Amino acid sequence: MADNKLIVIGAVAAGTKAASKAKRDNPNLEVKVFTKERYISYAGCGLPYYIGGIIRDKQELLVRSPEDFKREQGIDIFTEHEVKKIDASGKKVIVEDLKSGDIREYSYDKLIIATGASPIVPPLENINLANIFTLRSVSDAFAVRELLDSGAAKKAVIVGGGFIGLETAENLRNRGMDVTIVELVPHILPPFDEEMALYAQNHMIDRGVRILTGEKVTGFEGSDGKVTAVKTSAGDIEADMVILSIGVRPNTGIAVEAGIETGAAGAIKVNKYMETNIKDIYAAGDCAENTNLITGKPAWYPMGSTANKTGRIAGHNAALEKQEEALKESLEGVLGTTIVRLFEVNAAKTGLSEKDALKEGYEAETVLVPANDTAHYFPGYRMINTKLVVEKSTHKVLGAQIVGEGIVDKPIDTIAAAITMGARAEDLAKLDLAYAPPFSMAVGSTILSANVMLNKLNKRMESVKAPVLPDMLEKGGINVLDVREEEEFFISSIPGSKNIPMGELEVRLGEIDKNKETIILVCRIGNRAYMSYLKLKNLGFTNLKVLEGGICAYPYKLE
Amino acid sequence: MAEKYINARGLQCPGPVVELFKVAKVSEKGDLITIEVTDMAFKKDIAVWCRKTNNELVSLCEGEGTLKAVIRKG
């Protein structure tokens, strides 16, 4: 039969997904999958939890084995077989069996490249010392876990404060390790806006993780071939293990050699059908670029959720007997939706952050709104802070970030869905969302933040964003008026602020310094400050602003 | 030494803190105050309050959506 040979390179998320989908759609296909790794179809995102022991045994990480693929689907998976070369004109791949050293050619009719991404290992002094790890493959995780289980490591340094680094920090801390994170940019969680990231950062510090931001790792020191210290711009840090979690790069070597074009971040350029510039060659997963659904521009989001989608699409399209547009599956774009748990704090993001929006040239409006995750009279509710970013002129929602101890996955997914459908702030405010006390609030956090956004867009309120307040305080000339109760003020307050509880405002008006340029109203989450704003405005004050998100979402110095 | 109980269930912050201040004000050194709260944000507040007021947080447990804190008046 013509056109019945499919070869897939790579066997983690996208590769195995593509192979399975292709075989399901077209059982006549002969599907071969090559991977240079020993393990396949593993839960890469679960590795930090394997290190921490939450995922107890090795086999729990391995989703399916090559034998499962052969028995259940008739797919041949060749582990420890590295594709050395793609011969695009001859439609074949040259493969080395890494165990025997044998080299063989295999011809294909369709080829799917799912070679993934590799951790960045910078050429630093003594980077090859033992006990310096990356955490990408299961083999990496097994090695780290073995060292921990042996009891030989007590002090860990994590280079890079992205998701993998932070999750690993939590898991190592939970095992009683002394943990230091060194991050180059001014805060952990680099894709998040500063005030959102700092909330999570403060919590990690409270939980005993040492965090150095804006600092650079310059090299390592060791003895007996094992790492003993990390050299940084902030001095040497003792370490008997190091995790490098600086980031990843797409694996595109053999693709580039074969004449396949690359795009965003050096990932393989694909159209919405996952087709590369060479006919009959597809790319999917972390090695392929994506399109940002909001900007329409090429972007790169190496994430398991996207890898599974693009793998499925590549598999479907490669398996089509008739290559007709109407029969093809496609992906218009993604939002880069992500979520992470850091001890008791959850952090999630979808679409553009405020800094992304500015960089892309949007005139954006933002709000930061703390709320309870479930009804305030139902025991056990927790706070979440929602930051919403919309385009000023159209009110279209561009993105959201949610950080807090409460449930964040539901609201971020709601907003991700709304953005995908092109929602405006007005649409978010009117969503008919499920409500009962154990699950949510009657006016849920998403609706609440959309309402606050509409108040701001309609100029009902002037506000100050948390990140600018520390500078304003330093410069002086402002009057920070905290309208919470005396007892709350006693527990923590902004340095230099004055306390007049909202209920006493009218009788204590004389205490407010009208000569200062601006009066910044502060409360716990922003609602009492807003009510005081309306009250004082009514009394003739003009120089008023509300601190967005209140003390609850203010991650800077308190006293 | 007296033992006191505050039922602050269902109260949103600042409710629990205000109740605690009231009772602490009329307590003697060494008195034990137990407070039950269903607002999880109280967890942070109680730790800071004890530190700033030199009262001792004897225990803090969490279960079924309730925080139960025991404080010894310092």
Which domains occur in chain A, in start order?
5-45+58-116+249-327 (3.50.50.60), 132-246 (3.50.50.60), 344-457 (3.50.50.60), 463-553 (3.40.250.10)
- Pairing relationship of beta strands A235-238 and A132-134 according to DSSP bridges: unpaired
Please name the member of A379, A488, A492 whose beta carbon is closest to the beta carbon of B66: A379
- Is pLDDT of A96 > 80? yes
Query: Considering only CB atoms, which chain B residues are within 8 Å of A383?
Result: 40-41
- Is pLDDT of A454 > 80? yes
Nearest CA in chain A to B17: A487
Query: Is A163 exposed, middle or buried, given 0-12, 13-18 or 19+ CB atoms closer than 10 A?
Result: buried
- Is pLDDT of A513 > 80? no
Question: For chain A, what is the mean pLDDT?
Answer: 95
- Is pLDDT of A514 > 80? no
In sequence order, the β-bridge partners of residue A288 are A268
| B56 within a domain of the structure (yes/no) | yes
Which secondary-structure segment (H or E) carries A528? helix A527-538
* pLDDT the model gives residue B1: 85
Q: Is B19 on the interface with A (CB under 8 A)?
A: no
* pLDDT the model gives residue A63: 81
| B74 within a domain of the structure (yes/no) | no
Tell me the average pLDDT across A385-392.
98
Tokens 């759609």 locate to A25
| B73 within a domain of the structure (yes/no) | no
Q: Is B41 on the interface with A (CB under 8 A)?
A: yes
Tell me, what CATH number does B60's domain have? 3.30.110.40
User: Of A377, A547, A357, A540, which is closest to residue A452 (Cα–Cα)?
Assistant: A547
Shortest CA gap A451–chain B (Å) = 22
Longest Cα separation, chain B: 31
* pLDDT the model gives residue A58: 86
Tell me the average pLDDT across A69-79.
95
* pLDDT the model gives residue A6: 98
| B12 within a domain of the structure (yes/no) | yes
B67 in Cβ contact with B51 (< 8 Å): no
Residue A511 DSSP code: G
Q: Is B52 on the interface with A (CB under 8 A)?
A: yes
- pLDDT higher for A146 or A477? A146
* pLDDT the model gives residue A181: 98
**Contact at CB, B40 and A524, closer than 8 angstroms:** no
* pLDDT the model gives residue A1: 47
**Contact at CB, A488 and B49, closer than 8 angstroms:** no
- pTM equals 0.94
**Contact at CB, A379 and B12, closer than 8 angstroms:** no
A282 in Cβ contact with A274 (< 8 Å): yes
Q: Which of A59-63, A82-86, A304-308, B69-73 has the lowest mean pLDDT?
A: A59-63
- Is pLDDT of A198 > 50? yes
- Is pLDDT of A451 > 90? yes
A535 in Cβ contact with A509 (< 8 Å): no
Q: Is B47 on the interface with A (CB under 8 A)?
A: no
* pLDDT the model gives residue A41: 83
**Contact at CB, B38 and A405, closer than 8 angstroms:** no
Tell me the average pLDDT across A352-381.
95
Tokens describing residue A260: 């396949």
**Contact at CB, B40 and A381, closer than 8 angstroms:** yes
Domain that residue B28 falls in? 3-67
Tell me the average pLDDT across A365-381.
93
* pLDDT the model gives residue A502: 96
* pLDDT the model gives residue A303: 94
3-state secondary structure of A180: strand
Shortest CA gap A380–chain B (Å) = 3
Task: Quickly state the pLDDT bin for A424 (edges 50, 70, 90).
Answer: very high
| B72 within a domain of the structure (yes/no) | no
Q: Which amino acid is at A217?
A: V
**Chain A residues in contact with chain B using a Cβ-Cβ cutoff of 8 Å:** 376-383, 405, 484-485, 487-488, 490-492, 524, 552
Structural domain count, chain B: 1
* pLDDT the model gives residue A149: 94
**Contact at CB, B14 and A377, closer than 8 angstroms:** no
pLDDT tens digit string along B50-74?
999 999 999 999 998 999 999 999 8
Shortest CA gap B66–chain A (Å) = 6
3-state secondary structure of A142: helix
| B39 within a domain of the structure (yes/no) | yes
* pLDDT the model gives residue A2: 57
- Is pLDDT of A287 > 60? yes
Tokens 């907003």 locate to A415
